[in-house]
Each structure stands twice: as structure tokens, then as C-alpha cells.
Amino acid sequence: MQLRIATRKSELALWQANHVASLLNELDEVSGVELVPLTTRGDQILDRSLQKIGGKGLFIKELEMAMQTNRADIAVHSMKDVPADMPSGFCIAAVLERANPTDALVTNDNGDLDTIREGGCIGSSSLRRQAQLRAMRPDLEIRELRGNVNTRLGRLELGQYDGIILASAGLQRLGKGGHIAQEFLPQQMLPAAAQGVIGIECLEHQSELRTLLKKLEDYETSVTTSAERAVAFSLQATCQSPVASYATIDGDALHLQALVASVDGSKILREEATTNISDAAEVGADVANRLLKRGASSLLQP
């Protein structure tokens, strides 16, 4: 079977696609893998926030269209960018073993959050990160920051920010882990659902392809991803909502933490639960419903 992977053109997206290609090439059923790099609308529009132009789903629509028009067989994504409510006809066929799920602070002097000057400027386009950061340091100015990893690092080096927040996994995958000044603990900054997870998407009706891709799936990651994404789905949250969820596994036990925050960080609702790993999606929905009963809906209004 010859496979074509639709991918964004950013350095990190290409790293992820090449990583999946190398795993696929190890399977006996795969005769070759070709990358189909595409520019998405989310990559083209960098002067406006994602909330104003349609959210992170803009990064995957062109890739899905490539599969629909038979220009590609699969697409590779950072799962934190994939909406919890998948479009009809598509599915995530497999998720790879999770990398570092944390958020990272990068500063020019390698200082942590406590060392940033009062009123300093932090770059982040994520409402989830902004809200939790404001809860920790309400004195800071938080300014929008979009673009690929190298673009963001470049703007930091130019002195436009005192620090920026990026996913630890992305930096480490690109060999830039040395830039990390501080990794936030989950109790400081709860990660996005499925942060650090690479997912492989295909058309739902392609059963033979789905069976093949399932060979790459990491079971524990699939369980934690299911629980975390169930929170966002039940809250009807988008990838840009100030919502976080993070699950861990200990034996047969799954522990899930979730939060919904006001954008200014003045109000943060937290819930957590522990259940058997077989009930991952159910516990995600349950935790989300508890958040809704405590008034999460009002914090999710645009």
C-alpha cells in the first residue's frame, strides 16, 4: 500500500509527518510514503487572533479537503489542534505515544516566571494559557503571538516579549528543548486536551486503512486522549476556549483533571475524578457536567 500524508508546511508539522512516515515504512503492508505539504488558511492569516478568524480548525480544513479529493490518504495533526467535534466522514484512526504534555516558558535570560519584571510582557495566543498565566501573575501584560515555533522564538530574541509560552513537546521535537526556562506543573498550568499527542486522521469509511493505522496506536495515550477530549466535547468548547484537561494512568486507574477559566484569570473552576480506564470517555463527560453545574457555561461565552 502506497500512502500520501497531508501536512502543513511548518517545520514542526513536517517533523511530525516524517515521524509518522518512518513508522509506516516499517509496516510490511506499506510500500512507500509520500508527503503532501499544504498551506492552510490558519498559516496564511497571522495578523489576527485565531478566535476572530475561526479557531484552530483552520489548520486542518485544507488537509481534510485533500483527503476528500483523493490528493492524500491520511493527515497528521497535533491532537491539541483538532476540534473535539470531528466533521462527518472523518476519524482519528490512531494516536501515537504521548510526548511531554506540559507548557513551557521561554525567556531570553533563561529565568523562570518569578524572575520576569513586574508588568513584563508575555506572548501567547492561547486563551487557556493566558487565563492561567493571569491567575499566577495578574501584573503581566499578555500579548498575542502567532506563527511557527521559529517565528515566535525570533520575536522573543528581538526583545518584543519578556517571555513566551509554547508546548514543551514541540520545542523538544525540533531539538530546541534547551530554550525551555521553565516547565509548568499541571497544578500551575493545566495542559490542553491531548497536548503532546500526534494523531493520524483518515476518511471514516476506509476500513482497511484504519486497520493498518491502528497498528501505530499507543493504548494508554488513546485512553487519556479519549477522556480529555470528552471534556471539551461535552462542554462544546473549541480549541481556543479557556478549557484544559489532563489525564494520567496508574495501573487500571485513570485520573482526570479539568478546568474552565475566565479569560482574565479571575475565576477558575476545577474538577477531577478517578475511574477505571475502561470508562475514559464517560468520566470526561461527567467532569464536564460538573463544571457546567458550577457555571462553566458563562465562562465559555465569546
Task: Measure the CA–CA gap between 67 and 139, rounded to whole angstroms.
Answer: 46
Task: Measure the CA–CA gap between 189 and 284, rounded to whole angstroms.
Answer: 19
> Looking at residue 57, what is its pLDDT?
62
The answer for 190, left when phi > 0, alpha when psi is -120 to 50, beta otherwise, is: beta
Helices (H) and strands (E) counted in the chain, each on its own, are 11, 13
> Looking at residue 46, what is its pLDDT?
47
| Residue among 43, 47, 73, 81 flagged as catalytic | 81
Backbone angles phi, psi at 289, to 5 degrees: -65, -35
Task: Measure the CA–CA gap between 112 and 90, rounded to whole angstroms.
Answer: 41
103 carries an active-site annotation: no
pLDDT tens per residue across span 71-129: 999 999 999 999 988 899 999 999 999 999 999 999 999 999 999 999 999 999 999 99
Q: What is residue 31's DSSP assignment?
A: -
Q: What is the mean pLDDT of the chain?
A: 92
Q: What is the pTM of this model?
A: 0.91
- pLDDT-derived band of residue 238, with 50, 70 and 90 as boundaries? confident
Name all domains of the chain by residue range, CATH numbers in brackets.
Answer: 1-96+196-217 (3.40.190.10), 103-183 (3.40.190.10), 219-292 (3.30.160.40)
Q: Please state the three-class secondary structure of 216-267 as a single string.
A: HCCHHHHHHHHHHHHHHHHHCCCCCCCEEEEEEEECCEEEEEEEEECCCCCC
- State yes or no: pLDDT of 257 exceeds 60: yes
Q: Please, where are the H alpha helices in the chain?
A: 11-25, 41-44, 50-53, 61-68, 127-136, 149-157, 168-173, 207-213, 219-235, 280-293, 296-300
* 24: three-class secondary structure by DSSP: helix
- State yes or no: pLDDT of 53 exceeds 90: no
Q: Using a pLDDT cut of 70, give the percent of the chain over it.
A: 93
Q: What is residue 181's DSSP assignment?
A: E
CB 191 within 8 A of CB 101: yes
